Amino acid sequence: MMLTRQLIFRRSTKCVPEALNICRLSHKLSRHLPISNVLKQPVKPIVYRSIRQASTNSGVKKTLPLIIGISTVGGAIVAYNVLRKKESPAKETDEDEFEDKPFVQEHLQEDLALLEEFGPIPYLLIGAGSASYAAYRAIRTKDPTAKVLMIGDEAFLPYMRPPLSKEMWFAKDPNVAETLSFTQWDGKSRSIFYEHPSFYFSMKELLDNKNGGISVIRGKKVVKIDPAAQVVYLDKGEKISYKKCLVATGAKPKNLPLFENADNSVKKHVTLFRTIRDFQKLEKIVKKNDSVVIVGGGFLGSELACGIAYKRGPSGLKVTQLFPETGNLGKVLPEYLSIWISKKMEKEGVKIIPEVDVKAVSMKGKQVELLLSNDQAVTADHIIVAVGADPNTEFAKASGLEVDPVHGGFVVNTEMEARKNLWIAGDVSCFYDVNLGRRRIEHHDHAVVSGRLAGENMAGESKPYWHQSMFWSDLGPEISFEAIGVVDSSLPTVGVFTKPDEKEESKLIVDGSEKADDSKTEEKSEIKADTAPRAPNISDNYGKGIIFYLREDTIVGIALWNVLGKMQIARQIINESKSQDDISEIAKLFDLYTTEESSA
């Protein structure tokens, strides 16, 4: 079974009283409670066993309030189901079922008029993704009665992006595009949305509620910020005043000029991938077509290739992936491992064409034909372009905000602040890492970490960015890895892997682009360090190991290859700027010979 990660925020393990859980699920009552403590807890479904226990332990005098509570929950569930159906698109049969349509929020002008009368909103969050949601949680923890307004340009309430290219393609639910649910690492199903719709206030409810809360304006773009006046301008000229503001506008998928400038007949067969709508459209395309080509060999392209091949491979869908690198994730992993992944993916049903670019694109009958740089022609029913993303900094110039010329993104200090009372988080932030220098990171964990930090600082803290965020990828049933720090294939690397031998017990094998010192390895370890990556062999079993990334002999990045539960060790190594000379001893810390069962 493919290993997956749980994409929820870390929450306290302290138990919540049963009555508080009941109130938490109530359509009206839950949002009116101060949530400095409640937000730290998981939202637990009410089960009859718990209610019976509460009734037995509370006595007859408490039965009536409990019955009222149960009735409230029943009403909340009905209301939630109605709202949830509105949130998820209804199942249709026409071709435009999941097409992007302008989203117009009801009563927006009335809401903005109420807001203008109210005055500056205490906390304004621009962007409705993971970074903003993490900031909201942090703000409400520090300021339990905070009033928070979020603005997003999508039609959806805050949701997680990683499952769109990972777990949801492996879902057994044939209606996953409508249910928008996925299976977590623990086998339990959950919605892609962070909260159910009833969690959020209308504008009037937010402004009237003394205990604060959150409201979301959807389908609107911010086009300018005036940091001095603390005013935000929307795409139709509307203005919103704020006291403190976070920009977490995320990133948009890149396209290639060849496809951007193609005829409309070609463009109809080309998909970029980023949002829920993109997933819904692509999932439908995959169901009804016989062949797809994925252009791009990075995380997104490789995850989609594996997921689509798994979903439709048995029924004969032809999945082709092409890219200019020598192997999958070629910009991230050392060459030998990158090529090894490509060989594994081919076994999973993906045809890999490495070391090519697309020279021309045209229609050939009802299919798209790609002419490659090796003069090979590839045809397919649909093309998926997955060649990276650009940070959404369009309003930088109009707002007088600095964009980093090397990394992109808004320049911020170690507290994630760009200007007075203006913070930046997530994909769009270019921050200073005290250990690794100025960076910009496009990963879920960084969105959560930076959003939480920005939210805490908005609520009065003054904390620097010190936590090293991580990222992960799952490629088929045999490849799952986590990484932290600067993970770049242009850097020298040393990889330490376990490898079973028919004649001997397992031993460590080191592959790397830098010489390693044999004398510093255990007697049972065999060192094979070449000045150039050795030729990969599909029979090699890179089943479990560590890859160290070096800069001037200092470990600046670590990838954990099918090694789970050791990220804190890797984080400590990066923070302590360990030397290459220590690698043989450092590798022992990860205990590569311990099985997942024995370490549990």
356, 326 contact by CB (below 8 A): no
Confidence (pTM): 0.80
Q: Where is mean pLDDT largest: 3-17, 18-32, 331-345, 491-505?
A: 331-345
The answer, yes or no, to whether residue 354 has pLDDT greater than 50, is: yes
Residue burial 384-406, b: 16+ Cβ < 10 Å; e: rest: bbbbbbbbbbebbeebebeebee
The encoded tokens of residue 359 equal 């020279």
SS3 state of residue 362:
strand
376, 370 contact by CB (below 8 A): no
User: Would you give the DSSP letter of residue 199?
Assistant: G
pLDDT score at 177:
96
Sign of torsion, CA 320 326 328 330? Answer: negative
Please write down the long-range contacts of 368-375, taking CB distance under 8 Å and 24 or more positions apart: 368/266, 368/269, 368/270, 368/293, 370/293, 370/295, 370/322, 372/322
Does residue 405 or residue 592 have the better pLDDT?
405
- Which of 5-14, 91-100, 236-245 is least confident? 5-14
SS3 state of residue 248:
coil
What is the side-by-side order of every strand in the sheet holding 318-322?
270-272, 382-385, 291-295, 318-322, 350-353
Average pLDDT value over all residues in the chain: 81
Q: What tens digit of pLDDT does each residue of 257-294 get?
A: 999 999 999 999 999 999 999 999 999 999 999 999 99
Strands 251-253 and 389-391: antiparallel
SS3 state of residue 166:
coil
pLDDT score at 498:
83
| Bridge partners, 97 (sequence order) | none
